[in-house]
Amino acid sequence: MSISGIVFALCLFAAGGLFAVKMRKIVRNIRLGRDELINDRPGERWATMARVALGQGKMVARPIAGILHVVVYAGFVIINIELLEIVIDGIFGTHRVFAFLGPLYDVLIASFEVLALGVFVACAIFLVRRNVLRLKRFWMKEMTAWPRSDANIILVAEIILMGAFLKMNATDQVLAMRGVDPYVAVGSYPVSQFLRPFFEGYSDGALMTFERMFWWVHILGIFVFLNYIPYSKHFHILLAFPNTWYSKLKPSTQVANMDRVTQEVKLMMDPSADPYAAPPADAPPPERFGAKDVFDLSWKSLMDAYSCTECGRCTSECPANLTGKLLSPRKVMMDTRDRLEEVGRNIDKNGSFQDDGRSLHDRISEEELWACTTCNACTEACPVNIDPVGIIMDMRRYLVMEESRTRPALTAMFNNVENNGAPWPFAQSEQLRWAEEEGYR
């Protein structure tokens, strides 16, 4: 193996190793959530994943952004097939090892180039939308300097990667036409052929340097991109598939009951049950009502947080946000992910979680939580089926059932239900008398 091959192999294994380490930490963080069994209706789940994640079914609800995103997505997936050839060439010192495929290779290279151009143009348009047109949902208060910079970094990186790929092909063609070994005239280049004139005036040695430079920029850029993704909102590239498979299949507005509360109610209704019976000595500690911190959320809610694309479609559809309320479903997901990452760093530092005196409620205020109408417009709008309402409901349950903190209107309703058997401020007997007078009994 040549020195270049050894260097490439070291870069490949370093990139793979760093990515594996970060992925292991993210999986650990997601598993910090409480258990939730999600394996029902597998056929419908595979269909949902194919339609939403693979087919980008919800992205095209907004046609311009949706179509551009589909182009970037297709380019990202299909062009990376070429990565296999680059890896083999890099390790063994070969050049275009798949050239033996003949006409099929021509089709592959041509499709890669067309998609590369599409990705280049789409990313440029996205940069204009974010930084020149400054669409409102990209400049809301939760979109601080880092979230905005993160999006721009990814878009610029993809432009650089696609540019390096096309320039690599252009210099390769010039060298192949000159008969320089080991370059061979294979493949079809519908886009990079227009770049050839910029390089034809250079010497063979200079062209070989350019070709290797673009080759290394392209592949090392992919390695860096791979390890940047887990730190970025673009982690949805990977998590969109499991997240949509495990997404909620029940009606979006159906609120799940807490098993512990259901069991208590059944116990109250059971005439043979002993209301004073003590729990067994080996019984686990009672489950907390609702969510105080990320540990109390389900692992699926934590996966949702990591899957958030920060696109803001949820917030732009939220009726509470549209009417000036403080609530932003996107911020809820970003705050949950940030708190989960904070907990993960605590574990990395101490070996296990050490109470830091903070919780998820330090990031998400009561005003935000109580502004939610549970209409689930956010979930319907999300391109990867994230469920912010589930997190909001768990946090509100904690406020009500653990802290006894509610809005004044809700406190009055609770008192009426407890005292009158109904949410209205008059006795149940008065209700029955009214019903009898109106002929309903």
| 130-164 residue pLDDT tens | 999 999 999 999 999 899 999 999 999 999 999 99
Same domain, 288 and 158: no
| Token couple for 363 | 């990031």
Q: Is the pLDDT of residue 128 over 70?
A: yes
Same-domain check for residues 205 and 296? no
Residue 409 is predicted with a pLDDT of 81
- By mean pLDDT, which of 62-71, 160-169, 409-418 is the weakest? 409-418
Q: Could you tell me if residue 254 is inside a domain?
A: no
Amino acid at 245: W
Residue 320 inside a domain? The answer is: yes
Residue 305 and residue 340 in contact, taking contact as beta carbons nearer than 8 Å: yes
Nearby residues of 46 by Cβ (< 8 Å), 6 or more positions away: 245
Query: What six digits make up the tokens of 95?
Result: 């050049």
Residue 441 has pLDDT above 60, yes or no: no
Count Cβ atoms within 10 A of the Cβ of residue 308 and give its class: 0-12 exposed, 13-18 middle, 19 or more buried: buried
Q: 3-state DSSP call for residue 34?
A: strand
pLDDT over 80 at 35, yes or no:
yes
Which pLDDT band, with edges at 50, 70 and 90, does 440 fall under? low
My answer on whether 385 and 307 are in the same domain is yes
| CA 109/CA 87 separation, integer angstroms | 16
pLDDT band at 32 (very low <50, low <70, confident <90, very high): very high
C-alpha span between 431 and 428 (Å, rounded): 5
Does residue 427 register a pLDDT over 70? no
Tell whether 373 is covered by a domain: yes
- Over residues 247-253, mean pLDDT: 87
The residue that leads in pLDDT, 413 or 76, is: 413
Q: Which amino acid is at 441?
A: R
pLDDT score of 30 more than 80: yes
366 and 310 in a single domain? The answer is yes
CA 340 to CA 342: how far, in whole Å?
Answer: 5
pLDDT at 437 over 80: no
d(CA 128, CA 267): 61
Asked whether the bond before 182 is cis by omega within 30 degrees of 0, the reply is yes
Q: Is residue 430 part of a domain?
A: no
Total number of domains constituting the chain? 2
Tokens of 180: 């320089």
Q: What is the mean pLDDT of the chain?
A: 89
Which position has the higher pLDDT, 137 or 255?
137
Taking residues 375-400, report their average pLDDT.
94
Both ends of the chain: CA-CA distance in Å?
Answer: 92
% of the chain at pLDDT higher than 90: 60
Q: Are residues 402 and 301 in the same domain?
A: yes
150, 232 contact by CB (below 8 A) = yes
Largest CA distance in the chain: 101
pLDDT recorded at residue 277: 74
Q: How confident is the model at residue 438 (pLDDT cuts 50, 70, 90)?
A: low
Residue found under tokens 């087919």: 55
CA nearest neighbour of 7 among 15, 172, 205:
15
Residues 225 and 263 both lie in one domain: no
Separation between Cα atoms, residue 107 and residue 87, nearest integer Å: 20
- pLDDT on residue 431: 61
Given pLDDT bands bounded at 50, 70 and 90, which one contains residue 80? Answer: confident
Please report the sign of the dihedral spanned by the C-alpha atoms of residue 346, residue 352, residue 358, residue 361: positive
Of the ranges 104-113, 159-168, 181-190, which one carries the lowest mean pLDDT score? 181-190
The pLDDT, as a whole number, for residue 353 is: 93
Beta strands in 82-206 (DSSP E): none
Look at residue 81 in the predicted model and tell me its pLDDT.
Answer: 79
Q: What is the pLDDT of residue 420?
A: 78
**The pLDDT of residue 366:** 94
In a domain, 226, yes or no: yes
pLDDT of residue 253: 80
Identify whether 173 is part of a domain.
yes
Asked whether residue 11 is assigned to any structural domain, the reply reads yes
Shared domain check, 303 and 234: no
The reply to whether 312 and 236 lie within a common domain is no
pLDDT in tens, 340-368: 999 999 999 999 999 999 999 999 999 99
Share of the chain above pLDDT 70, in %: 96
Structure confidence at residue 208 (pLDDT): 93
CATH of the domain at 302: 1.10.1060
pLDDT in the model for residue 429: 63
pLDDT, residue 157, reads 92
Give the pLDDT mean for 384-399.
95
Same domain, 241 and 266: no
CB 247 within 8 A of CB 48: yes
The dihedral through the CA atoms of 394, 397, 402, 406 has a sign that is: positive
- Rounded CA gap, 192 and 175, in Å? 13
Q: Which domain holds residue 410?
A: 259-271+284-420
204 contact partners, CB below 8 Å, separation of at least 6? 175, 178, 180
* Co-location of 208 and 127 in the same domain: yes
The Cα 2–Cα 338 span in angstroms is: 44
Q: What is the pLDDT of residue 288?
A: 84
Task: Identify whether 36 is part of a domain.
Answer: no
Residue 66 and residue 170 in one domain: yes
Distance CA 47, CA 245 (A): 8
Neighbours of 197 (CB within 10 A): 10
Higher pLDDT, 293 or 413: 293
Mean per-residue pLDDT for 226-241?
92
The continuous run of DSSP H or E covering 312 comes out as none
SS3 298: strand
Examine the domain organization and report whether 140 and 201 are in the same domain.
yes
Are 169 and 113 within 8 A, CB to CB? yes
> Bigger pLDDT: 219 or 437?
219
Dihedral of alpha carbons 289, 291, 295, 298, sign: positive
More confident residue, 378 or 102: 378
